[in-house]
Structure 1
Amino acid sequence: METKIKEYFSNFKKMKHKEKLLVFACIFGVVLILLSEVVPSGTSAKKSESTDYRQYITSLEEKTENIISSIDGVGKCKVMITLQETDENFYAQNTDENTDSGSISKKSEYVLYEDNNNDSPVLIKQSFPKVMGVAVVCQGGDNANVKEKVISAVSSLFGISSAKISVSKINR
């Protein structure tokens, strides 16, 4: 066995530079494939859900800032949005009802599919949280006409009453 290893290394030393690179690339590829099977893929569901929720809020705030800052007289602005609750997911279910001798029994179970060797429920609908309130601070926040335009725009965007919208002048 020891002689075979020595023989292999002596043959390796005789190889050209390109051949050595090819051997290293193959070994590196095999190691990566083996590591991908050993290392757990992805993070926990709770982390991804909270990340999605934060991304959703951040995206809403950025889009709202872009719209509001384009209103005449607003200038630079910042937006903070509060949401009612987290998103709600609805999963597919198989329901079985039995009516035997006057009694009714109902059995439900989630429809599952295999994903990365794990069973996951089939998502049929996702409901995003509703906006509860919006705070806007902007350069033109002290002007009554600008405030009215911003409140009207935010109210229209999110379908909330003007009482749930605050517009103030930004502190320079």
Structure 2
Amino acid sequence: MFKNLNEKDKKKIYSLLSLGIICVLALIIISCIPEDENTASDENVAQVEQQQEEEISSSEQKDLEKKLESILSKINGVGDVNVMITFESSEELQPAFNSNSTTETTEEKDAQGGERKVTTESENKTMITSNSNSPVILKTTEAKIKGVLVVASGANDSKVKELLYSAVQTALQVDGHQVQIMSSK
């Protein structure tokens, strides 16, 4: 097959053939590697991020309880205070999107006089991200409070109880039916 070629050309052809064989083998090996590893790691990253958000949200809720306890304990006659806040929903972030919508209308008439009108609509949304690949946030909606329980040693006194009731409503901007004041032992 290569009888008419000189030694230099034969070496070039053998080098090219061996390079081609190596490339084919590399492609076969790469195609055999399962893609589930990347998918699994992406899912793990998403789960870790969600857990971190829940931990941050939980710590913010605990901080709110501690702040309220600190403020309420400064009211004259209240004594020791414990506060528990339950939330209906967590903090909600609304990311920014680029949206592109198109509407296409087609009218057709056939030879028998029939008419047909077809309307096709499509919308494409893309989340806007910053340089660090985190989404750009347009609006943050605070967590919605479901109820507040305050246990205070001075809540036996009706005046102190009314002060606590009013202070919680004002501090958290909640309705009266969402607040319960109890006295401790």
| Corresponding residue of 2:129 | 112
Q: Which AA in structure 2 matches 1:162?
A: G
| Residue of structure 2 aligned with 1:92, choices 76, 96, 107 | 96
**CA apart distance, 1:114:** 5.2
Report the count of equivalent residues. 127
In structure 1, how many angstroms separate the alpha carbons of the residues matched to 2:97 and 2:178?
38
Q: Which AA in structure 2 matches 1:98?
A: T
| Corresponding residue of 1:53 | 57
Q: Which AA in structure 2 matches 1:57?
A: Q
| Corresponding residue of 2:15 | none
| Residue of structure 2 aligned with 1:133, choices 142, 147, 150 | 147
| Residue of structure 1 aligned with 2:79, choices 75, 92, 99 | 75
**CA apart distance, 1:64:** 0.5
In structure 1, how many angstroms separate the alpha carbons of the residues matched to 2:146 and 2:168?
12
**CA apart distance, 1:103:** 4.0
What 5-or-longer segments of structure 2 have no aligned partner? 1-44, 106-118
**CA apart distance, 1:95:** 0.5
| Corresponding residue of 2:156 | 142
Tell me the TM-score normalised to structure 2 length. 0.62
| Corresponding residue of 1:163 | 177
Write the deviation string for residues 112-131 of structure 1: whole angstroms up to 9, x where unpaired. Answer: 3453xxx4432232222121
| Corresponding residue of 2:136 | 122
SS, match of residue 140 in structure 1:
coil
Aligned-pair identity in percent equals: 28
SS, match of residue 89 in structure 2:
coil
Tell me the TM-score normalised to structure 1 length. 0.67
**CA apart distance, 1:105:** 2.5
In structure 2, how many angstroms separate the alpha carbons of the residues matched to 1:161 and 1:103?
48
Residue 170 and residue 154 in structure 1: after superposition, are their counterparts in 2 closer, same or farther (change >3 A)? same
Instruction: Please give the root-mean-square deviation of Cα atoms over the aligned residues, in Å.
Output: 2.0
